[in-house]
Amino acid sequence: MAPVANRHSGKVAIVTGAGQGIGKGIATRLAQEGATVVIAEFK
């Protein structure tokens, strides 16, 4: 499914576990759709 430009414009998303895998994919997609993304990854 193609990203919808500006679907999340003006929104902030906090994504935990975004260093790899599904979390990274979700963070990338949200950013492509206009969200400001805050990424958290703990080791």
- Specify the pLDDT at position 19: 87
The pLDDT value recorded for residue 30 is: 95
Burial of 3 (0-12, 13-18, 19+ CB in 10 A): middle
Phi, psi of 9 (to 5 degrees): -60, 135
Cα–Cα nearest to 8, from 25, 32, 24: 32
For residue range 1-43, list pLDDT tens digits in order.
777 888 899 999 999 999 899 999 999 999 999 999 999 888 7
Strand, helix or coil for residue 38: strand
In sequence order, what are the residues at sequence separation of 6 or more whose Cβ sits closer than 8 angstroms to the Cβ of residue 8? 30, 33, 34, 35
